[in-house]
Structure 1
């Protein structure tokens, strides 16, 4: 069977020197099918088996053939294939009995509703569907094995296409294409790194090429260097680019640190750099203010939580206990936060913290205490009313 590997009809673009080609998804699928048909013809095996072998050997045609002709039984054992090719080409092992028990759900089914790999372990169609769908979702679908524990029998793509759900078949096809591009040892394929671009680049130059320019251009107009992945940088070589990028990064860090030192001062409490370029010289640290705002918000939530708890039906004891447990944990966490904030604020007061900040924080502190007192009053009122919580 003759196969022309360069005969794909929708090549998007080629450079004048033909050192790369831009491939669409249909182009990739055509190349993949050509490889599968090629191995299937040479080894006289099914296309499903050919696909399984190529996937295992990272789509390296030469390695598949060398391994197969060197030790066919070893390859079959590694990949979970049967030595009986007639079994491989069947969907389900021929079972003589008309009624069978699924080895997963243990329900009985007719022969038509039971499927198996070449090993003969019987499973119902629903269990097969769930098993295959789950493995596709987990991206464990290229070397799928029989669900029977310790069984090494392969589940090939013929079984996947017949027993998987429609959405998982689409996902499987997508994974298969990605595998062909990302793990291919037979071709130099790479996805275009531009965001939301679905094209791939087929790089045609051998490793021994003395070419210094490895720039490629995708149909999305994104140009990049195939060799290092940076933006196109001809005529500069990749080593020089790497050194230049390292120097730029270092210079940016040094420049940024120099500017921060020259134009900012660290907050005496939280040490965050602050830039002061206008207005008076009085500065307030927002760290404390934000902390106290969070405390007030927490007290407000607890207050209305008490209202929620007050209106819970008395006969729903489980819900009441769970509510009290959650509210109690929240109360403990909020008390710890408030204690920490009061402790830190006390230290700043001892160190002569500015008057404006003290008034602001003291006001927030007072509100938080009043909110907490209101919450306690609501709780005490309910207890005095004799309602069990």
Structure 2
């Protein structure tokens, strides 16, 4: 997955997080992404359909965000230390700061006196260094961001389609999620969900069906051999994911399973709705 992102990134010259979201949108089809990205008549639609702010086109919301940024100081974000985030330095800009097109999340920095904002989710007034938002301009407190992302990842099992809490559909990128989330369990679940979507969209990869096995098998050569063995010693058919069934074709096996299922359902219906003739038995 990282090789795919790196390859596309070198061509279209966009941040890795943006590239991954675009690849996810086109189901990891590199050729389709290249065609749509370099088509001047389709590029804007590509970003719009993927719910990503087009870095090559000025967004209507950017003006408001830039006006707000000009009002704020460039002092370090001390409060982000307790959130597990690293404040920026003059030489190393934080990925949480809005520096288009590489960083979707911005932080509202404090001035003297500290500017206060009311989070529209929890309705609590907090200092600007406790707030953050995406390029769309919607800003919420970090605590609400955490609860929102944890709910999406752990309760709904969503990773690649997490959007702004304001329901403007702008996607939350990987860097933003991993900087806001503190729990390692949640971070691991998020990374697993992203990897799972990549494997499911890749015809040359398949998860091992072995119990408690987390390995993904990748096809290196089209040798015609369908039965593969994982390092956990589980053997299965790479084409259909069922137990190895050579030399039977996958389609024949599928038909056989369907016939057995139909016969079983017929037998269950007969047993539930009929009785044996007492004279015959």
- The answer to whether TM tops 0.5 is yes
Q: 1:175 — aligned with what?
A: 193
1:203–1:95 CA distance, 2 compared to 1 (3 A) = same
In the alignment, structure 1 segments of 5+ residues that lack a partner are 1-31, 269-389
Structure with a larger share of its residues in helix:
1
Aligned to 1:220: 232
TM-score, normalised on structure 2?
0.67
CA distance in 2, matches of 1:238, 1:33: 31
User: Which of 180, 201, 215 is matched with 1:199 structurally?
Assistant: 215
CA distance, structure 1, for counterparts of residue 118 and residue 174 of structure 2: 24
Deviation at 1:170, TM superposition (A): 1.5
Shift of 1:33: 1.2
1:109 partner SS: strand
| Structure possessing the higher radius of gyration over alpha carbons | 1
Q: Indicate the RMSD between aligned Cα atoms, in angstroms.
A: 3.3
Question: In structure 2, how many angstroms separate the alpha carbons of the residues matched to 1:243 and 1:122?
Answer: 54
1:229-378 matches, within 5 Å, as 229-242=241-254
Which residue of the partner structure matches residue 188 of structure 1? 204
Q: How has the CA–CA distance of structure 1 residues 43 and 105 changed in structure 2, closer, same or farther, with 3 Å as cutoff? A: same
Query: Residues 132 and 141 of structure 1 are in contact (CA less than 8 Å); yes or no, is this contact kept in structure 2?
Result: no
- Aligned to 2:17, which of 45, 48, 58? 48
Q: How many residues align?
A: 223
Aligned equivalents of 2:119 and 2:174: distance in 1? 21
- CA shift for structure 1 position 49: 0.8
Which piece of structure 1 moves more, 69-78 or 92-101?
92-101
Residues 1:66 and 2:35 aligned together: yes
How many angstroms does 1:93 deviate by? 5.9
Work out whether residues 93 and 120 of structure 1, in 8 Å CA contact, stay in contact via their aligned partners in 2: no
Candidates 46, 55, 69, aligned match of 1:84: 55
Q: CA deviation at 1:239?
A: 4.6
| CA pair 245-117 structure 1, distance change in 2 beyond 3 A | closer
> TM-score, length-normalised on structure 1?
0.50
2:170 corresponds to which of 150, 153, 164: 153
